[in-house]
Structure 1
């Protein structure tokens, strides 16, 4: 709100606030100001400001990196440029990337998301990978939920179980096209493995959908 008010006041005087942010960023600003300047340029800059902002995606401060993600996304940068940052060591950065990718979940290959879902990834990266896979096609969503159920995943298992139940009791009705035979075999095996966790009735319901009703 403070930045928006200041930008309005600058425009009222016939000046360009984006130019002020550009000049300040190139003048070696104090570390504490960088995040605000990046945010401001992202709010009132143009597509031409993307390239000057890209170096801030590698800034040592996680909050600056997160702000740079928001800024370059807002200015129209390719999502492919920020997608690898879904594995950033800082949760605040990963959350910013995850929000940016919501409109185009296919930017990150599913194979990479499965790699990041591995047990050796930090919890915040695993959560982002799960959310990315869940946002894919319906059978990938079912696959990742069942995978976490079958593996008795302690960190994501509750989320997966709740999503699985929500899907089978609501969204499944919109799954008009069934899985491929290979995917059906894989999902059938996962249902068998997850049945002790999800219960016999829920497993029966899932098999019914997999068999094409």
Structure 2
């Protein structure tokens, strides 16, 4: 095959080069990415039209100058690479002829999916026929590559028909063909597979819980958790949901306690680390006539037994005039979690008492300093600059120095940049890394707002 005439070779153009060299599709592009197939289609067409892709290979085989030569594709078995390039050709006659060879070639099925939304009706109709016949017999790899493409292009003018073919087939597909799609890296594919399997009741509650706790997509996780709850067997299912690491899933489990009539079991979740879980726990207790605010006040009343996150929960549903003094008192509690929760509660009440909040920036616990800095950030321009500078000194702990530096930045202090540059060479690795990160972010933002730096003009001689 003749070579490509590229001035340079970005990754997308490299895929065409590999195909021209005869590489299989699995080596030429990332077949699991649906965009890789649509990009290949666009790039081949553009390269041929711009003359950057020399005639040869599949085009010479088809005989561009002799339309009768298009029939040659029906009798000659092209390579996988030749067939892929032919399916992307700008000439609709070539694309249509190539589809005749694609019927028993599962590797190019994603490109058949692209052709199912083709702008040329004959190509489009033939691609849909090939697709309808190929989906039932496609192996797992072909299906995993094709389904995301069909879902990606369904928003195109003619793209809905291909996605409809996929959805119709999945509704009757064997379970062992459907379940591998639960683990697909493409989010839309996982969503469709899960929705179809739930409609068909193919997934047992333990597997639904596993999907709910493991999938990074909130839509998939929420749907799986809801289906697990609706499926019954609540003792085992609720226990798994309530023990999940993800707050959204624990929240679903807490909410399900209401349906199960187990309201009292929601009380420990009043002190969960997730705000969503705490809110759900309060709702469940209210459905049973209990008062979450009274529970929080009781939990905060005794400093010896106060729960670590009770002060924050108190602020989330309490009354400023009644509960603010309790939170201030707990900022001096011996346990760091109680102190940080109390400061977070002050922030929830939008306390603006700088004189009382500022000393908390020197707390020995990083969590307390973090919450104090967050509480002070909206009023950073009113904070004493010299005292903030003092907190960045080498005699302070790293968590104090970095938060003070952030507040200097938020304050718009003229001393910020000089201090940050000094700290980029600090002996402490935490301080050094944070200062470099803050400076780098500031410089990237300045570049994006002002455009690229000006190129200095050469000096004139003389």
TM above 0.5: yes
- Secondary structure class of the residue paired with 1:103: helix
Structure 2 counterpart of 1:35: 308
| Contact 1:114/1:129, CA 8 A, preserved across alignment | yes
User: Separation in 2 of the partners of 1:174 and 1:138?
Assistant: 20
TM-score (norm 1): 0.68
TM-score (norm 2): 0.34
User: Are 2:317 and 1:47 aligned?
Assistant: no
User: Are 2:287 and 1:12 aligned?
Assistant: yes
Whose helix proportion is higher, 1 or 2?
A: 1
User: Separation in 1 of the partners of 2:288 and 2:309?
Assistant: 21
User: Separation in 2 of the partners of 1:162 and 1:134?
Assistant: 13
User: Separation in 2 of the partners of 1:140 and 1:37?
Assistant: 39
Structure 2 counterpart of 1:202: none
| Contact 1:56/1:65, CA 8 A, preserved across alignment | yes
User: Separation in 1 of the partners of 2:304 and 2:435?
Assistant: 44
For the pair shown, which has the larger CA radius of gyration, 1 or 2?
2
Shift of 1:42: 1.7
User: Are 2:415 and 1:140 aligned?
Assistant: yes
| Contact 2:392/2:405, CA 8 A, preserved across alignment | yes
Structure 1 counterpart of 2:369: 94
User: Separation in 2 of the partners of 1:25 and 1:167?
Assistant: 41
User: Separation in 2 of the partners of 1:169 and 1:23?
Assistant: 49
* 1:75 maps to which of 311, 335, 349: 349
| Contact 2:426/2:432, CA 8 A, preserved across alignment | yes
- CA distance 1:140–1:171, change in 2 (3 Å): farther
Structure 1 gap segments, 5+ residues each: 176-204, 209-213
| Contact 1:135/1:141, CA 8 A, preserved across alignment | no
1:160-179 alignment, distance < 5 Å: 160-171=435-446
- CA distance 1:110–1:133, change in 2 (3 Å): same
- CA distance 1:54–1:146, change in 2 (3 Å): same
User: Separation in 1 of the partners of 2:303 and 2:362?
Assistant: 28
